[in-house]
Each structure stands twice: as C-alpha cells, then as structure tokens.
C-alpha cells in the first residue's frame, strides 16, 4: 500500500443504465422464460422496453445534470414506459434513490449505499414485499447489505461492487425454492416453488452493471 490516500472512485449513472440495458437485452429471452413459468411472460419485454427508453432519455438529457437528477429521470421513464409491476417498482426505486442524492455531483460508495437504501425502501413501501417473498427484494436486499458491509470493512468500491453483485446473484438463485407471496406469481401458490423469480434475476443484472459504471479518479 502506498502512503497516499486513495482517491475515492465514483460511478456514472449513464454508464450504469447503459450497461444494465445491454445486459437485460442480452438476457431478455431468459427473463421472459422465467416469467412464463410463474407469471405472464412479459418480464423480458417489460424491462427491455423500459431500459431502452431510459438510455434514450439519459442520452437526450442535460449533460450537466448531477447523478441524482439522472436517476430521477431514469425512474420516471421506467414508470411511464413499463406496464408490468416491475416498471413502477424499479421506477420508484430509482426516483427515490435519485432524491436521496440531492445535488451531490459525486456518486461514490457511501452515496451509492444511500441510493440503494432509498431504492429498497421505495420498493418495499410500494410493493410490501418482505425478504423471502420471492421478489426483487431478495436480490436487492442482499446486494445492499453486502455493499455496506464491504465498504465499512474498507474494501475499495470495485471489490465491494463485485461482492454485492455476487450477493444479488446468490439472492436471485435462492428464490427458486421459495413460494411467492407477492405479485402475479403468488396466485400460483405452491406451484410457484421450483422456479427462479424473474424480477430478482433482472435485479441481479442491474446490480452487476454497477461494476461497469466506475469512473477512474481524476
Ligand atoms: P407483472 O408481474 O405485472 O407481469 P413483471 O413481469 O414485469 O410484471 O415483473 C414481475 C416481477 O416483479 C416479479 O418477478 C417480482 O420480482 C416483482 N414483483 C412483483 N410484485 C412485487 C412486489 N409486491 N414487491 C416487489 N417485487 C414485486
Ligand atoms: Mg410479468
């Protein structure tokens, strides 16, 4: 270790959303298959349409907007373009996450913890899902807890993000044996057991995309 204090890395909202959109697009058929098993088969299409609109809105948006404003724009865009449950849920997550940032110009690790804390709270306020209900909460919750733990332990942001993404993947996989208690899949009762939740799966992709949004310190 050098004697200089490491300059904190920050994240680009546009890069985050662009990468998330690309990986959702690449996995759209898989997300649709998962939603066909326990829902109505539109999750891949919903998220793809929404994220395409988000990247377009950000590309057209104010190039000087701070990260909070960009997240609010992304959230509003998701709400207005996605019909399924995932639109309002992720939309409100990003809007609240953006609001938590205020006018901060640097989206560093601590700020990201604030964003994801507000995002998770927004999802739970709106959808009333608890951990274990087989929803996106089961991916986002572990991702946030891991990110916070690793940053508190002094890990660099890049390593903490990788650990958070692994926790989100693990959380998504752990939804397979769960019985859905929220959303469309809950109508299936016990027949929802044995399938991975589509929303938790796309959430893990969105969390993984954070690792591609790191901006090298100036
Ligand atoms: P819809 O169910 O309206 O067709 P999508 O297929 O786009 O919407 O999204 C389904 C996903 O949304 C589920 O896999 C689940 O992760 C998430 N979801 C549904 N209801 C809730 C809820 N109340 N709280 C959190 N997440 C939910
Ligand atoms: Mg659906």
Residue whose CA is at the smallest distance from ligand 1 atom 14: 199
2 pLDDT tier (thresholds 50, 70, 90): very low
Task: State residue 6's pLDDT score.
Answer: 60
Which atom belonging to ligand 1 lies closest to the Cα atom of 82? 7
In angstroms, what is the span from residue 38 Cα to ligand 2's centroid?
8
In angstroms, what is the span from residue 10 Cα to ligand 1's centroid?
30
Q: Is the CB of 182 under 6 A from ligand 1?
A: yes
Which atom belonging to ligand 1 lies closest to the Cα atom of 135? 16
Which atom belonging to ligand 1 lies closest to the Cα atom of 197? 14
Closest C-alpha among 79, 76, 63 to residue 14:
63
- From the centroid of its chain, how far is CA 169? 12
Q: What distance in Å separates the CA atoms of residue 38 and residue 148, rounded to the nearest whole number?
A: 32
Write the pLDDT tens digit of every residue in 40-67. 999 999 999 999 999 999 999 999 999 9
Q: Measured on CA atoms in the order 135, 140, 142, 143, is the torsion positive or negative?
A: positive
Q: Is the CB of 89 under 6 A from ligand 1?
A: yes
Give phi and psi for 30, each to the nearest 5: -65, -45
Q: Is the CB of 198 under 6 A from ligand 1?
A: yes
Share of the chain above pLDDT 90, in %: 94
Residue whose CA is at the smallest distance from ligand 1 atom 23: 127
Per-residue pLDDT, averaged over 13-36, amounts to 98
Q: Is the CB of 136 under 6 A from ligand 1?
A: yes
Share of the chain above pLDDT 70, in %: 96
Task: State residue 37's pLDDT score.
Answer: 98
DSSP characters for the chain?
--SSPPPPPEE-HHHHHHHHHHHHHHTHHHHHHHHHHHS-S-HHHHHHHHHHHHHHHHHHS-TT--HHHHHHHHHHHHHHH--STHHHHHHHHHHHHHHHHTT-S---HHHHHHHHHHHHHHHHHHH-PPTTSSSTHHHHHHHHHHHHHHHHTT--HHHHHHHHHHHHHHHHHTTTTSPP-SSGGGGGGGGGTTS--HHHHHHHHHHHHGGG-EEPP-
Task: Tokens for 175, please give them.
Answer: 């939804």
Instruction: Give the dihedral of Cα atoms 11, 13, 19, 20; nearest 10 deg.
Output: 120
In angstroms, what is the span from residue 186 Cα to ligand 1's centroid?
10
Per-residue pLDDT, averaged over 181-191, amounts to 97
Would you say residue 3 has pLDDT above 90?
no
Write the pLDDT tens digit of every residue in 56-107. 999 999 999 999 999 999 999 999 999 899 999 999 999 999 999 999 999 9
Burial of 189 (0-12, 13-18, 19+ CB in 10 A): exposed
Q: How far is CA 116 from each of CA 110, 119, 188, 191, rounded to the nearest angstrom?
A: 10, 5, 30, 31
Neighbours of ion ligand 2 (CB under 5 A): 35, 39-40, 42-43, 84
> pTM of this prediction?
0.96
End-to-end Cα spacing for the chain: 20
């Amino acid at each position: 270790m050098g004697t200089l204090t490491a300059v904190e890395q920050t994240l680009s909202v546009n890069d985050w959303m662009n990468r998330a959109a690309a990986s959702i697009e690449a996995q759209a058929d898989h997300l649709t298959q998962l939603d066909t098993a326990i829902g109505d088969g539109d999750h891949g299409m919903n998220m793809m349409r929404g994220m395409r609109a988000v990247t377009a809105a950000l590309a057209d948006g104010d190039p000087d907007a701070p990260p909070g404003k960009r997240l609010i724009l992304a959230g509003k865009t998701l709400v207005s373009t996605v019909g399924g449950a995932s639109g309002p849920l992720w939309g409100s997550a990003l809007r609240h996450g953006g609001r938590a940032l205020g006018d901060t110009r640097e989206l560093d690790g601590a700020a990201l913890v604030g964003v994801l804390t507000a995002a998770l709270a927004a999802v739970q306020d709106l959808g009333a899902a608890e951990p274990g209900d087989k929803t996106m909460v089961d991916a986002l919750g572990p991702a946030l807890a891991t990110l916070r733990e690793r940053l508190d332990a002094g890990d660099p942001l890049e390593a903490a993000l990788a650990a958070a993404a692994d926790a989100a993947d693990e959380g998504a996989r752990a939804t397979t044996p769960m019985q859905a208690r929220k959303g469309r899949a809950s109508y299936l009762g016990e027949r929802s057991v044995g399938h991975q939740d589509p929303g938790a799966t796309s959430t893990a992709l969105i969390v993984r995309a954070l690792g591609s949004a790191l901006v090298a310190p100036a």
